[in-house]
Structure 1
Amino acid sequence: MNDVPARRYPIVAMALHWLIAIGVIAQWRLAVAGENAASETAGREIMGNHFSLGVIVLLLVLARLAWRLVQPNPPLASDLAAWERWLAKATHTLFYILLIVMPLAGWYAMSKYGNGVDVFGIFALPALPVAADPEGASAIFGLHAAAGIALLLLAGLHILGALKHTLVDRDGNLFRMLPFGRPRA
Structure 2
Amino acid sequence: MLNDVQKRYSKGAMAFHWIIAVLVIVNWRLAETAHHLESGAGWYWSQHKSVGISILVLTIGRLLWRLGHPVPPLPDTIPSWQRVASRSLHFLFYVLLIGLPLGAWIANSLGDRPVDFFGLFTIPPLPVGTNEGMSETIFGIHATGAEIFIYLIGIHILAALYHTFRKDGAGLGRMLPLGRT
The TM-score normalised by the length of structure 2 is: 0.95
User: Partners in 2 of 1:79 and 1:122 — Cα distance?
Assistant: 49
For 1:45, what is the secondary structure of its paired residue? Answer: helix
1:50 aligns with 48
Structure 1 runs not aligned, ≥5 long = none
**C-alpha separation in 1, matches of 2:2 and 2:135:** 54
- 1:132 counterpart residue number: 130
In the alignment, which of 168, 172, 175 is matched to residue 171 of structure 1?
A: 168
Q: Output the CA distance in 2 between the equivalents of 1:116 and 1:7.
A: 44
1:20 maps onto 2:20 in alignment: yes
Alpha-carbon distance in structure 1 between the residues aligned to 2:24 and 2:86: 19
Equivalent in the alignment of 2:143: 145
Once the 2 structures are TM-superposed, how far is the Cα of residue 171 of structure 1 from its aligned partner?
Answer: 2.1
Indicate yes or no: 2:31 matched with 1:34.
Answer: no
- Partner deviation per Cα, 1:77-120 (whole Å, 9 max, x = no partner): 11110011000100000000011010010000001111111111
Partner of 2:93: 95
The aligned counterpart of 2:102 is 104
Note if contact 2:9-2:174 (Cα within 8 Å) is conserved in structure 1: yes
Give the length in aligned residue pairs.
Answer: 180
- SS in structure 1 opposite 2:41? helix
Q: 1:179 is paired with a residue of what secondary structure?
A: coil
In structure 2, what is the Cα distance between the partners aligned to 1:77 and 1:89?
14
- 3-state SS of paired residue (1:166): helix
Q: Deviations over 1:117-140 (max 9, x none)?
A: 111122322111122211211111
Offset of 1:2 from its aligned partner?
5.8
Match of 2:72 in 1: 74
Paired residue secondary structure (1:124)? strand
Asked whether the equivalents of residues 77 and 168 of structure 2 are also in contact (C-alpha less than 8 Å), the reply is: no
